[in-house]
């Protein structure tokens, strides 16, 4: 009983700390503001050139890209250089709003998170799989199964691991990668519950019923259904390894890493401690 109580307090402290941190950083006096610095773009291009892969899964803060260019279209600046270095560019296209609407159209339903992902969806995405809530989109030639659940053993995240995609972070405080959801799903972590739900899928203008397995946070280990990954803990552990390629250019953090290596590292941690990702 004492162990379980301690675990819950640990989870709640993680949620409280990171939520408080986010509120603090939204204050006008503390909110980050990025201005262009001449020469910063060369450092970014040098970093991209050192990534030993031509297939990237990206998480980008477009506001941080102001450091690297005076061009008003920060997205176009990034995509030009991504295309110069990569044959395939992929991004999350998660749509949690579909949990309520129960309607998913891969050509219409807008990704919910990140300005980069929203613009990528509108301008460049050539592929998007049919997972109603956790879809992935890509530009470039891919041979992924579009029908599978993204977190299934034959889904797009496993396929990215098989192809040894690299994940690129630009402007993120800590390592960020949607692959961590895949670890949780595959390891069936005890703070999540998994349920099959039915959705209406729109394909070629026709509606069809589909069933997908979704996960949600158990009330026991969440606050109003909310948990927060302890990215600070993960970051400190990753710094002790050779997994991360990292740099900091005039205050903008850059991270790149093999998704396969990250998956193996985090999976081992979660096998030893199922609550690893959400506790201190």
Q: Is the CB of residue 68 less than 8 Å from the CB of residue 101?
A: no
The helix or strand, by DSSP H or E, that contains position 74, with its residue range, turns out to be helix 74-85
Reported as a pLDDT band with limits 50, 70 and 90, residue 257 is: very high
For the beta sheet containing 166-170, the strands, ordered from the edge strand earlier in sequence to the opposite edge, are: 127-128, 134-139, 88-94, 55-60, 166-170, 252-258, 245-249
Determine the average pLDDT of the residues in 157-183.
Answer: 96
Q: d(Cα 186, Cα 184) in Å, to the nearest integer?
A: 6
pLDDT single digits (tens) 16-46: 776 676 676 665 555 566 677 788 899 999 9
At residue 31, the pLDDT reads 54
Among 184, 256, 193, which Cα is nearest to 222's?
A: 193
At residue 26, the pLDDT reads 63
Determine the average pLDDT of the residues in 62-71.
Answer: 89
At residue 70, the pLDDT reads 87
Please state the φ and ψ torsions of residue 46, each to the nearest 5 degrees: -65, -40
The helix or strand, by DSSP H or E, that contains position 279, with its residue range, turns out to be none
Q: d(Cα 119, Cα 238) in Å, to the nearest integer?
A: 31
At residue 38, the pLDDT reads 82
Mean pLDDT of the residues in the chain: 90
Higher-confidence position of 137 and 4: 137
DSSP codes, 19-34: HHHHHHHTSTTTS---
Q: Could you tell me where the DSSP H helices lie in 130-178?
A: 156-162
Q: What are the distances in angstroms from CA 28 to CA 23, 111, 206?
A: 11, 27, 47
Contacts of 46 (CB under 8 A, 6+ apart): none
At residue 259, the pLDDT reads 98
pLDDT at 92 over 90: yes
Percent of the chain with pLDDT over 90: 66
pLDDT single digits (tens) 206-235: 999 988 888 888 887 877 667 888 989 999
At residue 276, the pLDDT reads 96
Q: Is the CB of residue 189 less than 8 Å from the CB of residue 277?
A: yes
Please state the φ and ψ torsions of residue 121, each to the nearest 5 degrees: -60, -40
Q: Is the CB of residue 155 less than 8 Å from the CB of residue 145?
A: yes
pLDDT single digits (tens) 144-165: 988 878 999 999 999 999 999 9
Percent of the chain with pLDDT over 70: 92
Report residue 170 as tokens.
Answer: 């630009």
At residue 95, the pLDDT reads 96
Question: What predicted TM-score, i.e. pTM, was given to this entire model?
Answer: 0.90
Q: Is the CB of residue 259 less than 8 Å from the CB of residue 167?
A: yes
Q: d(Cα 256, Cα 259) in Å, to the nearest integer?
A: 9
CA 59 vs. chain centroid, Å, equals: 6
At residue 10, the pLDDT reads 78
Determine the average pLDDT of the residues in 97-106.
Answer: 95
Tell me which residue has tokens 């993960």.
Answer: 234
């Amino acid at each position: 009983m004492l162990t379980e109580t301690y675990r819950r307090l640990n989870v709640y402290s993680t949620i409280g700390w990171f939520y408080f941190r986010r509120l603090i950083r939204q204050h006008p006096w503390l909110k980050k503001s990025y201005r262009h610095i001449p020469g910063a773009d060369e450092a970014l291009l040098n970093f991209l050139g050192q990534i030993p892969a031509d297939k990237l899964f990206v998480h980008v803060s477009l506001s941080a890209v102001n450091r690297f260019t005076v061009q008003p279209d920060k997205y176009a600046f990034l995509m030009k250089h991504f295309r110069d270095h990569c044959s395939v560019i992929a991004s999350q296209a998660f749509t949690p709003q579909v949990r309520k609407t129960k309607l998913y159209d891969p050509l219409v339903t807008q990704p919910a998170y990140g300005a980069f992902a929203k613009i990528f969806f509108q301008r460049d995405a050539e592929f998007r799989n049919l997972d109603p809530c956790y879809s992935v989109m890509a530009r470039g030639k891919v041979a992924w199964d579009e029908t599978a659940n993204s977190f299934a053993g034959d889904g797009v995240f496993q396929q990215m691991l098989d192809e040894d995609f690299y994940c690129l972070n630009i402007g993120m405080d800590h390592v960020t990668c949607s692959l961590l959801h895949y670890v949780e799903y595959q390891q069936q972590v005890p703070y999540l519950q998994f349920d099959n739900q039915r959705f209406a899928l729109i394909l070629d203008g026709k509606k069809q019923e589909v069933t997908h397995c979704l996960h949600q946070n158990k009330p026991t280990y969440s606050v109003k259904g909310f948990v927060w990954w302890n990215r600070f803990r993960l970051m400190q552990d990753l710094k002790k390894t050779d997994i991360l390629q990292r740099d900091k250019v005039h205050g903008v953090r850059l991270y790149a890493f093999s998704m396969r290596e990250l998956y193996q590292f985090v999976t081992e941690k979660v096998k030893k401690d199922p609550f690893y990702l959400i506790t201190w």
